[in-house]
Structures are given as structure tokens and as C-alpha cells.
């Protein structure tokens, strides 16, 4: 990876961690129940930021250490390595924009399912059964979390029309 991308990625993660820390600090002004979900999210992001920074430091130390004469041989796993040159950023942006549009038309759950599947494929993973299973699991996890915390999610125009038709008879 090019060094300027490493620096940008590290800066972006540190910025996200900083804002997550601020968000966590602000949750202490809320009530216990209102602050539960934001605290969980903030602590998760801070934990992942720490893991990222640890792995970055570990990788830098590993690169500076004298290289071993033995090389590790890895088996093919169905994953094409995604590089900055190999990712089609226009398609990735189009998928994210399509996700926002599909939320309005088909609802959050279905849009999440299709977006996760498309994003995994665009990222270079081409084992279709795993993609569809992971996309379904992610959509179900998002719906379960929304149901657990009573978060209203957009149903979409198609679902609203189906519910009106079924309820109107």
C-alpha cells in the first residue's frame, strides 16, 4: 500500500476515534437508559480504533525487523486481494448511493441485504454462497438491534403499499 494511503487511513481512524470519544463523553449528560446504545457504539468504535492502531504499530515494527529467510506459503481462499488500484471506486460510490435510494423504495432491511452483498463482491470476495449468507445475517442483525432498542426504521414505499393493500381488504 502506498505510504500516503497509510497516513490518510490512520488519520481517518484517529479522527473517528476522537469523535467517538467526544460522543461517549456527551452521553454522560443523558439518562441511564437513553445513554446505553450510544455508549455501546462509542465503546465499540474506541475498541476497534485501539485494535487498528495496535495492528498498525505491530505491522510497522514487523517491517523494520530483519526479514526471515523462510517465506510463508498461503493457500488460495477464493479472495482476490483488493488493492487501491483494483477497487472500482466509482462502483463503490454508486453502491452506497444506491443503498440510500433503495432504503426509500424497498426499506432498510432489504436495502441492507443487497448493499452488503454488492459491497462484498466489489471488495473482491467472490464466494457467492458466503456473500448471500453474510448479507442475510447482517440484515437480520440490524433488524434485531433496531427491534431490541425500539429504533424505527424506514419500511420503504413498496412495503407501505403492500401493507396498505393487505390492510385495506
**Cβ pair 122, 95 in contact under 8 A:** yes
Q: How far apart are CA 142 and CA 151, in angstroms?
A: 10
**Which pTM does this prediction carry?**
0.53
Same domain, 37 and 3: yes
**Cβ pair 75, 50 in contact under 8 A:** no
Tens-place pLDDT, residues 62-88: 888 765 555 555 555 555 555 556 677
Domain boundary among 30, 64, 98: 64
Domain containing 37: what range? 1-64
Residue 69 falls inside a structural domain: no
Tens-place pLDDT, residues 116-153: 999 999 888 889 999 999 999 999 999 998 888 888 88
Domain count for the chain, please give it.
2
Residue 91 falls inside a structural domain: yes
Tens-place pLDDT, residues 8-59: 788 888 888 898 999 889 988 888 888 888 889 999 999 999 998 898 888 8
Amino acid at each position: 500500500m502506498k505510504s500516503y494511503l497509510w497516513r490518510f487511513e490512520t488519520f481517518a481512524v484517529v479522527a473517528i476515534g476522537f469523535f467517538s470519544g467526544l460522543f461517549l463523553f456527551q452521553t454522560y449528560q443523558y439518562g441511564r437508559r437513553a445513554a446505553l446504545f450510544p455508549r455501546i457504539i462509542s465503546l465499540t468504535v474506541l475498541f476497534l480504533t485501539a485494535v487498528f492502531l495496535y495492528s498498525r504499530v505491530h505491522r510497522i515494527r514487523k517491517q523494520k525487523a530483519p526479514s526471515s529467510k523462510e517465506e510463508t506459503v498461503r493457500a488460495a481462499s477464493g479472495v482476490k486481494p483488493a488493492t487501491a488500484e483494483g477497487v472500482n471506486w466509482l462502483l463503490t460510490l454508486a453502491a452506497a448511493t444506491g443503498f440510500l435510494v433503495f432504503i426509500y423504495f424497498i426499506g432498510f432491511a432489504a436495502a441492507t441485504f443487497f448493499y452488503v452483498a454488492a459491497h462484498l463482491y466489489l471488495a473482491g470476495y467472490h464466494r457467492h454462497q458466503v456473500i448471500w449468507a453474510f448479507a442475510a445475517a447482517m440484515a437480520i442483525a440490524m433488524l434485531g438491534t433496531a427491534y431490541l432498542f425500539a429504533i424505527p426504521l424506514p419500511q420503504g414505499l413498496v412495503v407501505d403499499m403492500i401493507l396498505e393493500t393487505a390492510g385495506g381488504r
